[in-house]
Chains A and B, each alone.
Chain A
Amino acid sequence: MVERWNLVLCGFLALALIGLGGCPAARTGPEVARAPAVEKDKPAKERVAKPEKEVKEARAPTALEALRRGEAPVTPKESPLKEIYFDFDRYDIRADARATLKANGDWLKGNPGVRVVIEGHCDERGTNEYNLALGAKRAQAAKDYLVQLGIAAERLSTISYGEEVPVCTEKTEQCWQRNRRARFVITPAKPAT
């Protein structure tokens, strides 16, 4: 009787460990992402030693993470996925954005385990609700373009932040353009089942 409960307990613990840290064996390709909040719960033996070059690649924080930390949601220069920019009140993909999306798409093809959250943002002009909708359309436009380039849709999720988490606050054309953007934030790969 006691042995059976021990078995159940061990099984439960094993499941819990797998659930917390993911299956190390299933990771393919360079693991650039780190799950932010869950990190501290991971038992030490789960952490996989990373090759040198991945450690240098900086991960962009999500806008919500940046807000919580009191930082501007800047996408670091070293991030492999670059931002794209939009015209005022528009969500169509500009010519300059197409080149960036192609480069982002190529990187994603070369790193098939990686999933991305695409954030849609707006400049501060206009009302909050409309800008949330506009941000959603911007994120979706970027996703649609990447899907057209051959990236699996299941790898890409979208979220709008409207005008809520700007990267700068000056009332200038330059700052407004910086905020009218879609950001690509890498999230941890799902463990293989």
Chain B
Amino acid sequence: MRVAPEYYLSLAGLMFVIGVVGALIRRNAIVIFMFVELMLNAVNLAFVTFARMWGHVDGQVLVFFVLVVAAAEVVVGLAIILLISRNRGSSDVDDVNLLRW
């Protein structure tokens, strides 16, 4: 069975929007992080879809880049979140506003 690319793209768009909204409205750092991952995966899905659509391998290659970068980002991000929550006893991003004016 062959599903039309529009469906995949719509799904990707939907996932991305959910990710954006979630990242903006939630305050728990872990949850924001999960929404960011959701956006990344939405982009990955779009890449794979286009790769398939045009019969090019480039899109699939880029997905690997995104995965690797995302993994690195998770490592750093989680380390920061962990340290913040250890120090301040909370993972609420609104509590961490030391660098404002």
Q: Do A and B assemble together?
A: no
Contacts from A to B (Cβ < 8 Å):
none
Contacts from B to A (Cβ < 8 Å):
none
